[in-house]
Structure 1
Amino acid sequence: MDNLFLLIVFLGLSCFLSFFEAAPENALIKNLPGFNGTFPSKHYSGYVTIDESHGKNLFYYYVFSERNPSKDPVVLWLNGGPGCSSFDGFIYEHGPFNFQAAKKYESLPKLHLNEHSWSKVSNIIYLDSPAGVGLSYSDNLDDYNTGDVKTATDTHTFLLKWFEQYPEFLSNPFYIAGESYAGVYVPTLANEVVKGLDAGLKPTINFKGYIVGNGVTDNDFDGNALVPFAHGMGLISDDLYQEVSTTCEGNYWNPTSKDCIKLLSKVNEDVDGLNIYDILEPCYHDPEAKTNSPVNIKLPSSFREIGESDKPLPVRKRMFGRAWPFRAPVREGLVPTWPQLLGSNSVPCTSDEVATSWLNNPAVRKALHAKEGELTWELCTDNISYRHDAGSMIKYHKNLTTRGYRALIFSGDHDMCVPYTGSEAWTRSLGYKVLDEWRAWTYNDQVAGYTQGYENNLTFLTMKGAGHTVPEYKPREALAFYTRWLAGEKI
C-alpha cells in the first residue's frame, strides 16, 4: 500500500514538473530591465516562424497565469490599428506590470507589479501581428502587403505552431481577445480556427469563444454611430441633431446630399478638439509633432488603386481606431495607417514615450529574445500596406455564435473612436432573443456599466466612464468582468 501511494505521488509530481518543463526553455524570460522584484508567474517570449522560406516571424510575449496555469484559460490578445503593437495592451492596459516613466537621470522606466493584470486569472499571449508590426518582421518585404484574410491565416498558422511548442496548454480553454481594429482581427481569426477544427488540423485547439472591445465591425453601424453618440453625450445641440437626422436620413457615413455634408461639417466642428479616445480626458499633444496638419492629405502612391488620380483625400486630420480616419468606417480596400495619413510618429491625443523608450532599449531587447539592430519598435507603424478585404464582421459573429462559441462585446461608453452606440446597435441587429434584459452590472457595490445578454452565448457590456482602451481607464472593473465572463458567471 505504501509503495502504491509513493508511485501515485511520484507520477503526480512528474506530471506537475513536466507541465512546467514542456515550454521552450530558450524562450524563458529570466529578468527584465527596470524590474527588481520576483515574477509572480513564468514569462516566455520570442519568435514563431510561420514561413521559413520568407523568414516570416511573429513575436509573442506569454504570461503564465498567476493562479493556476495548468487549468486557467489561454487568451490571445491582439491590439488593432491596423499596424499597432499588442505591447500597447501589455504596457498600458492589462499586462503584468505597471510602467513608471523614467526620470531625467534614469535610462529606463521602472516596472511595478500590476495588481489588476489579466494574468491574475488567465494565461495570456500578447502577439504582434501582422508581420511588420511591433517586433514581428519578415525578410521578404512583400509580406508587408497584407490584409484581413492573410492576417487571419497567418495568425492561425502562428497558433498551430505555438501550441506545438507549448503542448501542455492544449487542453486549456482557449479564447481570442482584442480591441479597436481587432474587431476585425478577432472574428476573422476565430473563423480560421473553427475551419481548422472542422478540417481536423493538428494540434487540436480547445477554442471556446472570443472577446472584442470597442471593435470595428461594419460600415453602416460604425459609420452611423457617432452622431447619436455626440447628441447623447451633449456634444451637439438638440436642434443640430434633429436637423442632421432629418436631412441625412440616418445615413452619416456615406452622405449623398450637399445639405447633409454641410450639417455633418457642423457636427465635426463641435466635436473637434476633444480627445477622441475618451471625451472626458485632456488631449495630449506630442511636443515634437507638427502643430499644423493639412486637412486634405495625399496618400503615398503605393496606396493608390490603379488609375486613381493624385487628388487629396477628404480625410480629417484626426484619426481613430488607433489608425483609421475619424468619423468614417473602415471601407473595403486599402486602409492607410495613421502615420501614412499624418506623416507623424505620434498617435493623436496619446503618449507612447514609456513603451518606446523601454522596447527600443538593447538590454530589454536581449531579455525579450527579440531581434536587435535595425528593427525599431513603434506603437503603430507605417511599415505595412493593409487591405480590408473581409467585409462586414456581422456574418462572422452570426456564424460563430450560432455554432455555440461564446462572445463578449464590450465598450467604454466615453469612446468617440468606435462609439458604444454602434456596438449596441449591431449586436441587437443579429435578432437574437434577449435572455438578460438591459441592466446595471456592479463592482464593489457600485454601478460599473450596463449589460444585455442574448441567446447563443452573446453578451454586450458597457464600461461606465471608460474610453477606447477599457482596461487602461478602468483596470479594476475590467478585471472583474473579464474574470466573471471567463468563469461563465453572470456579470
Structure 2
Amino acid sequence: MHIYICVQTSKAMSFIPSSLIKKMLSQVVIVLIFTNVVASQSIINTLPGYNGELPFTLETGYIGVGEMDEVQLFYYFIESERSPNLDPLVLWLTGGPGCSALSAIFYEIGPITFNYSNFSWGALPTLVLNPYSWTKVANIIFLDAPVGTGFSYATTLEGYEIGDLSSIAQTYEFLRKWLLAHPKFVFHPLYIAGDSYSGIIVPMLVQDITNGIEVGDKPLNNIRGFFLGNPLTDENIDMNARVIFAYRKALLSDELYESTKKDCKGEYYFPPDPSNVACIADLQAVNYCLDKIFLSNILEPDCVTYISPQQNISTWKIASSLLEKNFIDVPVSTKQFSEPWCRADNYVLSYIWANVKEVQAALHVREGTVKDWQRCNSSLRDTYYVQEIKSTVLYQKNLTNNGYRALIYSGDTDLGIPYVGTQEWINSLNLTIEDEWQPWFVSGQVAGYVTTYSKNKYSLTYATVKGAGHTAPEYKPEQCLAMIDRWLADYPL
C-alpha cells in the first residue's frame, strides 16, 4: 500500500494552517503503522488438547517494535467473557524478567489450564476451563516481553541485547501499535498490570504512558491506573524484608532475630563488612534456617522437578517459581513426579504442550523463530538482559501526582517478595490512610486484609491474600478473582 501526500506551497494554498498539515501527516503515519500491524493477527478457535471450540475469543499475533521492527513481540489477546465492549482493557506483563505470558494464562489468571488428573507421559496434556479466570471481568493482552520471552524473538542478535529501559520503551511502542490495530478498545479504561519483576517495569511504563499523553502521542488512551502482585519494587527493601518476614512467621527464633538485628544493624541484604564477624555468623545461621524453605510459598514443599526432551539435544528447565533456580536435568524417560507433590510438577505440562509443533502451528507461531519454548527464560537474564533499575519507589511517588487508581496485593506466605517489604515502601509514599487495616471476605471467610490510601485524586488499595504465595492467583484463584472484580468495579474489597 502506497500513500502519497502533496502539499502545494503556492499562494493559492497558503490558507492551510500548518497545524492542519501536521495533523494530516500524523494521521498518515498512523495509517501506515496500522496497515503494517494488522497483518499479523489471528483468531484462534481451537487448541490442541481442548475438546471443541474455545468458548472465549482468543487472538494471537506479532507486533514489530524497534527502529526496523527487528523485535517481534508475541501476544495473546483474550476478550472479556462478560462484556467485551464495556469491560476494561488490561495489559498483563509476567515477571522474571523472561517469564512467558503462557505462564500467567495457564497458572494464574487465564481462561484455560491443564487437566492435571488426566495426564500420562507420551500424551499431549489436555486443557480445561478455569472458572476463576480474570478474563471473566476484563479484556486482557498477555504479552511475551521482553524479547526472548516465550515466542517473542529478534531478527538480529543485537535485538536480544535489552535491559529495563529499552524493554519499557518497546512495550510502550507495542501498546500504541496494538491500540491502532484494535481501535474499538482505544477508549476502554486501561490498566497496566503484572507481578513479581513487573514491579520494576509497570510503574515506569505507566509513567511513559502518562508522558506520552501529555505530549500528544497517538493514539490517545484512557489509562486509569495499574495493579501489581507481590511486586519487586526496591531491591534492598524487598530482599531485606526476608529476615523480618521469616521472624514473623516463626522461621527464626527470637534470640537469632534479635542478635542478627543488633549485629547487622538491620541491614541483611548487602554483604556485611568482612570485619563484622558477628553479623556474618548470624546471617549464616539465618541461611541455615531458611535454606530448605520454598521461597515462593513457605507452606509448600521445597523440591525440584526435572525434565529433558527425549528427541532434542537442548534442555528444558523447569522452574520451581518465577524466581528461578538452577537445575540438574535427567532424561524424561526416568522422570517421576516428586514425592510429595510439588508445585513445579504442574509446570512440566506447559513445557510439553508449548513445544509441540501442532500447538505452535495452532497459535500461529512463526516456524523456526524460537528453538525451545521456556516458561521462564533464565538464559535471557544471564546472557542478554541488563537489570538497570534497582528501585521504582520514586516512580510510585511520581504517579501519586496523577489521578490514578492502584492496587497492590501480596500473597502473605511469599518469602521471595515478602509483604512486609511492600508495606514499607508503600508507607514511604506518605499517603493518607482512608480505611485502616481490616479483613476482606470471600464466601463468608477471611480472604486477606486490606488498607486503602489516597492523595488528592490518587487512590491506592493494598491487600494481602491469606495463604497465597508469590503468584497469588495461582494459589488462591477464587479469592483473587473476587478481589480484582471488586476493585475494577471500584467497590470496597
Distance 2:159 2:87 in 1: 35
Aligned partner of 1:480: which letter?
A: A
Shift of 1:482: 0.4
CA contact (8 A) 2:153 2:369 kept: no
Alignment partners' CA distance in 1, 2:323 and 2:175: 25
Write out per-residue CA displacement over residues 92-129 of structure 1, whole angstroms, 9 at most, x where no aligned residue: 11111121246336531111111100000000111000
- Within the candidate set 266, 269, 274, 2:293 is matched to 274
CA–CA distance in structure 1, aligned partners of residues 196 and 473 of structure 2: 13
Q: Does 1:372 align with 2:367?
A: yes
Which residue of structure 1 aligns with residue 486 of structure 2?
484
Q: What's the CA shift string for 1:28-64, capped at 9, x where partnerless?
A: 1121111113433211001111136253100000000
What's the counterpart of residue 421 of structure 2?
A: 422
Q: What is the rounded CA distance, in whole Å, between the counterparts of 1:390 and 1:221 in structure 2?
A: 14
Taking the TM superposition and a 5 Å limit, the aligned residue runs for 1:121-200 are 121-200=137-216
Cα distance in 2, alignment partners of residues 171 and 29 from structure 1: 25
Q: CA deviation at 1:179?
A: 0.6
1:408 aligns with 2:407: yes
Residue-by-residue CA offset, 1:2-43 (whole Å, 9 max, x unaligned): xxxxxxxxxxxxxxxxxxxx9879511121111113433211
Residue 55 of structure 1 corresponds to 70
| Alpha-carbon distance in 2 for matches of 1:344, 1:251 | 36
Query: Is residue 401–residue 407 contact of structure 1 (8 Å, CA) maintained in 2?
Result: no
Find the counterpart in structure 1 of residue 398 from structure 2: 399
Residue 362 of structure 1, aligned match among 351, 357, 363: 357
> Do the aligned residues in 1 keep the contact of 2:113 with 2:128 (CA within 8 Å)?
yes
- How far the C-alpha of 1:391 sits from its partner, in A, is 3.8
Q: How far is the alpha carbon of 1:321 from its aligned partner?
A: 5.3
SS in 1 for 2:380: coil
Corresponding residue for residue 303 of structure 2: 284
Which residue of structure 2 aligns with residue 12 of structure 1? none
CA RMSD of aligned residues (A): 2.3
The amino acid across from 2:224 in the alignment is: K
In structure 2, relative to structure 1, the CA distance for the partners of 1:230 and 1:98 (3 Å cut) is same
Deviation of 1:367 after TM superposition, in Å, equals 1.2
The percent of aligned pairs where both chains have the same amino acid is 41
Q: What residue identity is the alignment partner of 2:305?
A: D
1:37 aligned residue: 52
What SS does structure 2 have at the residue aligned with 1:154? helix
Q: Helix, strand or coil for the counterpart of 2:386?
A: strand
Equivalent of 1:474 in 473, 476, 482: 476
| Structure 1 equivalent of residue 323 of structure 2 | 322
What is the match of residue 13 of structure 1? Answer: none
State the AA in 2 paired with 1:274: I
Please say if residues 115 and 125 of structure 2, whose CA atoms lie closer than 8 Å, have aligned partners that are also in contact: yes
Q: Distance in 2 between matches of 1:54 and 1:395?
A: 31
The aligned residue for residue 264 of structure 1 is 283
Q: How do residues 292-311 of structure 1 correspond to structure 2 at under 5 angstroms?
A: none
Question: How much does 1:269 deviate?
Answer: 0.4
Matches of 1:235 and 1:105, distance apart in 2: 38
Q: Which amino acid aligns with 1:61?
A: Y
Cα separation, 1, equivalents of 2:295 and 2:281: 21
CA distance in 2, matches of 1:463, 1:344: 34
C-alpha separation in 2, matches of 1:343 and 1:77: 31
| Aligned residue among 90, 107, 114 for 2:130 | 114
Q: Which amino acid aligns with 2:153?
A: Y
Between the aligned partners of 2:307 and 2:476, the Cα distance in structure 1 is 29
* Alignment CA distance shift 1:320-1:364 (3 Å): closer
Secondary structure of the 1:189 match is helix
**Residue 239 of structure 2 aligns with which residue?**
223
Residue 84 of structure 1 corresponds to which residue in structure 2?
Answer: 99
Give the whole-Å Cα distance in 2 for the aligned partners of 1:401 and 1:186: 14
Q: Are residues 52 and 358 of structure 1, via their aligned partners in 2, closer, same or farther at CA, if it must alter by over 3 Å?
A: farther
Q: Deviations over 1:371-407 (max 9, x none)?
A: 2236111011113522222341111111112211111
- Mapped to 1, the partners of 2:490 and 2:284 lie a distance apart of 45
Q: Distance in 1 between matches of 2:185 and 2:369?
A: 34
CA distance in 2, matches of 1:149, 1:366: 32
Which residues of structure 1 form unaligned runs of 5+?
1-21, 290-317, 324-337
CA distance in 2, matches of 1:220, 1:459: 23
1:486 CA drift (Å): 0.6
Residues of 1 paired with 2:404 and 2:190: CA distance?
A: 11
Please say if residues 107 and 113 of structure 2, whose CA atoms lie closer than 8 Å, have aligned partners that are also in contact. Answer: yes
| Aligned residue in 2 for 1:390 | 389
> Could you list the runs of 5+ residues in structure 2 that have no partner in the other structure?
1-36, 309-318, 333-341
Q: In the alignment, is residue 67 of structure 1 matched against residue 64 of structure 2?
A: no
Q: Partners of 2:121 and 2:389 in 1: how far apart?
A: 49
Change (3 A) 1:220 1:415: same
Separation in structure 2 between the aligned mates of residue 32 and residue 52 of structure 1, nearest angstrom: 34
Aligned counterparts of 1:355 and 1:440: Cα–Cα separation in 2: 35
* CA distance in 2 between partners of 1:77 and 1:459 (Å): 19
SS in structure 2 of the partner of residue 407 of structure 1: strand
Q: Name 2:344's counterpart in structure 1.
A: 350
Q: Measure, in 2, the Cα distance between the counterparts of 1:143 and 1:369.
A: 22
Q: Is the 8 A contact 1:321 1:418 kept in 2?
A: no
Q: Distance in 1 between matches of 2:260 and 2:251?
A: 14
Find the aligned partners of 1:135 and 1:52 in 2 and give their Cα distance. 20
> 1:394-451: CA deviations, max 9, x gaps?
1111111221111111100000110111001111121111111011111111110011
Q: Which residue of 2 aligns with 1:440?
A: 439
Asked if the contact 1:24–1:165 (Cα under 8 Å) also holds between the matched residues in 2, the reply is: no
Q: How does the TM-score come out when normalised to structure 2?
A: 0.82
After superposition, the Cα gap between the structure-2 partners of 1:23 and 1:50, relative to the gap in structure 1 and judged at 3 Å, is closer
**How far apart are the structure 2 equivalents of 1:396 and 1:129?**
20
**Residues matched between the structures, number:** 425
| Cα distance in structure 1, aligned partners of 2:368 and 2:157 | 17
